Amino acid sequence: MGFGITVVPTLGYLSSYQALKLANMYLDHACNECDPAVALVLCHEVEVSLVQAKKAARQDSHVSKGEIGTAFISLSQLLEDMNHHSEAEDIRKKGEKYG
């Protein structure tokens, strides 16, 4: 049995709630990932999803700035734990600015 081709919508179609939910799912997986390279790719996906959540939050009121800021801070803590200090600092600044 074949599954065919799955078409995934771009992040631009997601609400702020959906983008934040996706970011948190990526973050959870990154925290539990044993392979550092895979975890780093997941961290990138977290950041991309959070940027989309910020954009969408300008048009809807599904999530607060604080919720998005908190997710940025969580991402920065994970990056710090992974010894990506400069990236962690950049993300932390985004979180503080936004949250």
Domain boundaries, the chain: 13-98
What are the pLDDT digits (tens) for 43-79? 999 999 999 999 999 999 889 989 999 999 999 999 9
What are the distances in angstroms from CA 89 to CA 33, 37, 76?
Answer: 22, 19, 7
**Mean pLDDT (whole number) for 31-52:** 96
Cα-only R_g, the chain: 14
What are the distances in angstroms from CA 36 to CA 21, 32, 77, 81?
Answer: 23, 10, 15, 11
For residue 9, pLDDT over 70 is answered with no
Structure tokens that stand for 86 in this block = 């400069």
- pTM to 2 decimal places: 0.86
Question: What integer pLDDT is reported at residue 19 of this predicted model?
Answer: 95
